[in-house]
């Protein structure tokens, strides 16, 4: 009866042979992942040294090309490290997203589950962990990371199926979408104009905050997209003035930098400018600010401007009665005005969304007053 073959990734009995004085050979048969059994040997000054060298070679032979061997005995800590390394090599995930994943795994997943092995995990263990994470946003990030990690484990046959997919998801609490009224927009612009440059000590503060806010109101750009605008992508002198959104400001390790791609594929777009935005950009151009990469809204030193610094300026300038207004509010205001004028499809395109679902759910304020349908309803009695 034929001897059964070795299991893939395993080896047989190791033999030691002294081939010459002070030279030993350790040899065994190893079944590679292609199913072929091959003879593997290594040498050393002693039999034990040769065997150690052989076992090290067999260990490295079994390790996948990525450098990580994922098995049922792999801990969640090592699985997280392997997953982060894997997605970093693909080039498909932005550096700031990878940093967010790594921070989530390091600060939340590893302290709770790091020593657990893949073959010890269960839906119940994961469910218990996710329910104990207090912040909804953090819990969602943890679930995203764990989903990716255990998908990787499943691809390596370390687990039969991804258990994270069986855990429950948290319902996002409904949040009110609040856009500004025309009166509030007017008040905001007035407050910013009064605040900008009104300090008595140091250089004038927020000299171009009014122009930045006008650009945001008239385009619906994200704050990172507006701060990444460059003059070569702006046409103010054509019959139809436009800007092209081709970059954004990103952050890695506390440092902001110019990311030479839009936030999303749909985010790369050309936006037609209303007259008040054209006027704002012309005022900004006339300032002739020193700027790297021909940035429209550079920092005081000419480099990339911090979105957090601009958010702080808005908080100081908006006034107490508009204390709820953020840059996200400006984007919602633009979307709401466009939706009411020409529809949600146009609003989604303006904001750089790939569809209308996100626009409707998070950006367009639902009208409290139903449309004026008096004529249509009166027709019921026209008999």
The per-residue DSSP string of 159-216 comes to: SSS-GGGGSPPPPPPP-------HHHHHHHHHHHHHHTT--SSSSPSSTTHHHHHHHH
Angle subtended at Cα 346 by Cα 344 and Cα 347, rounded to the nearest 5 degrees: 60
Q: What is the pLDDT tens value at each position of the chain, 383 positions in all? A: 567 788 878 899 999 999 999 999 999 999 877 678 889 999 999 999 999 999 988 876 765 545 567 888 889 999 999 999 999 988 888 888 899 999 999 999 999 999 999 999 999 999 999 999 999 999 999 999 999 999 999 998 889 899 999 999 887 766 788 999 999 999 999 999 999 977 767 777 888 999 999 999 999 999 999 999 999 999 999 999 999 999 999 888 778 889 888 888 888 999 999 999 999 999 999 999 999 999 999 998 999 999 999 999 999 999 999 999 999 999 999 999 999 999 999 999 999 999 999 898 888 987 666 667 777 777 777 65
Q: Where are the domains of the chain?
A: 15-62, 76-166, 182-362
**Under CATH, which number does the domain 76-166 receive?**
1.10.150.130
What letter does residue 84 receive in the DSSP assignment? H
pLDDT (0 to 100) of residue 65: 45
Query: The tokens of 282 are what?
Result: 């012309």
The answer to whether 360 touches 338, Cβ cutoff 8 Å, is no
CATH class assigned to 182-362: mainly alpha
Looking at residue 94, what is its pLDDT? 83
> Residues 221, 277: contact at Cβ < 8 Å?
no
Question: For the stretch 247-276, what's the b/e string if a residue is b when 16 or more beta carbons lie within 10 angstroms of its beta carbon?
Answer: bbbbbeeeebebbeebbeeebebebebeee
User: What's the angle, vertex CA 117, arms to CA 114 and CA 120, rounded to 5?
Assistant: 120
Q: Is the dihedral of CA 148, 81, 94, 90 positive or negative?
A: negative
Question: Among 325, 334, 340, 368, which residue's Cα sits nearest to residue 353?
Answer: 334
pLDDT of residue 62: 61
Nearest to 108 by CA among 79, 145, 72: 145
**Positions of E strands within the chain:** 15-20, 23-31, 37-44, 234-235, 242-245, 248-252, 255-259, 269-272
**CA–CA separation, 218 vs 243, rounded Å?**
11
């Amino acid at each position: 009866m034929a001897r059964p073959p070795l299991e893939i990734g395993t080896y047989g009995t190791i033999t030691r042979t002294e081939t010459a004085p002070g030279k030993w050979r350790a040899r065994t048969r190893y079944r590679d992942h292609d199913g072929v059994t091959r003879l593997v040997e290594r040498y050393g000054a002693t039999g034990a040294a040769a065997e150690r060298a052989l076992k090290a070679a067999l260990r490295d032979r079994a390790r996948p090309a990525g450098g990580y061997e994922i098995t049922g005995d792999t801990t969640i800590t090592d699985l997280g490290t392997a997953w982060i390394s894997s997605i970093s090599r693909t080039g498909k995930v932005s550096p700031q997203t990878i940093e967010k994943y790594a921070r989530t795994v390091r600060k939340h997943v590893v302290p709770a589950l790091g020593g657990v092995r893949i073959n010890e995990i269960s839906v119940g263990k994961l469910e218990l962990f996710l329910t104990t994470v207090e912040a909804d946003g953090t819990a969602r990030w943890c679930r995203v990371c764990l989903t990716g990690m255990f998908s990787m484990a499943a691809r390596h046959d370390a687990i039969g199926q991804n258990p994270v997919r069986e855990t429950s998801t948290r319902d996002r609490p409904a949040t009110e979408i609040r856009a500004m009224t025309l009166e509030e927009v007017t008040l905001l612009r007035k407050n910013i104009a009064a605040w900008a440059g009104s300090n008595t000590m140091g250089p004038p503060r927020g000299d171009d905050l009014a122009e930045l806010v006008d650009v945001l109101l008239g385009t619906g750009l994200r704050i990172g997209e507006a701060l990444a605008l460059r003059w070569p992508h702006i046409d103010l002198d054509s019959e139809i003035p436009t800007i092209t959104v081709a970059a954004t400001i990103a952050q890695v390790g506390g440092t902001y930098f110019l990311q030479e791609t839009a936030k999303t594929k749909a985010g790369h777009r050309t936006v037609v400018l209303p007259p008040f935005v054209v006027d704002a950009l012309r005022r900004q151009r006339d300032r002739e600010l020193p700027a790297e990469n021909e940035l429209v809204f550079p920092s005081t030193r000419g480099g990339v401007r911090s979105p957090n610094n601009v958010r702080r300026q808005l908080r100081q300038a908006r006034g107490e009665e508009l204390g709820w207004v953020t840059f996200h509010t400006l984007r919602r205001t633009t979307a709401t005005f466009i939706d009411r004028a020409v529809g949600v499809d146009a609003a989604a395109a303006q904001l750089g969304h790939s569809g209308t679902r996100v626009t409707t759910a998070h950006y367009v304020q639902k009208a409290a007053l139903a449309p004026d349908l008096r004529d249509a309803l009166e027709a019921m009695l026209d008999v």
